[in-house]
């Protein structure tokens, strides 16, 4: 679904509710929704059933909480506004690309 600017943060030393944040951007609410639907389908294929609310389809920020990983899918402007990378600047970025 071509999520943009995907960042993975190691949160294990920062918080006690998850191990990693995955943060990604989309260009519009439709793009964010498509990314979220794809994540939902892929998690379902792995046996992890996560629901997306109908309101999420018109959202600029969708969150998936799988326990160990919390995924944030933002519209670009919302990502800049909420600035999770800045808020959690002490978390180490994970090099996830092979």
- 60-95: pLDDT as tens digits: 999 888 889 999 999 999 999 999 999 999 999 999
Assigned token pair, 32: 């964010």
Distances (CA, A) of 6 to 21, 33, 53, 55: 10, 16, 23, 23
pLDDT > 90 in the chain, percent: 66
pLDDT band, very low/low/confident/very high, at 55 (cuts 50, 70, 90): low
Which pLDDT score is estimated for 98?
A: 62
Does the domain spanning 4-88 belong to CATH 3.30.950.10?
no
* Total-model pTM: 0.89
Q: Which residue has the tokens 């600017």?
A: 5
> Residue 31: left if φ>0, alpha if ψ -120 to 50, beta else—which one?
alpha
């Amino acid at each position: 679904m071509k999520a943009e600017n995907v960042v993975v943060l190691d949160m294990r030393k920062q918080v006690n509710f998850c191990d990693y944040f995955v943060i990604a951007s989309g260009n519009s609410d439709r793009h964010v929704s498509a990314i979220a639907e794809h994540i939902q389908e892929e998690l379902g294929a792995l046996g992890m059933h996560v629901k997306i609310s109908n309101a999420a389809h018109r959202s600029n920020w969708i969150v998936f909480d799988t326990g160990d990983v919390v995924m944030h899918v933002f519209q670009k402007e919302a990502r800049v506004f909420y600035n999770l990378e800045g808020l959690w600047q002490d978390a180490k970025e994970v090099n996830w690309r092979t």
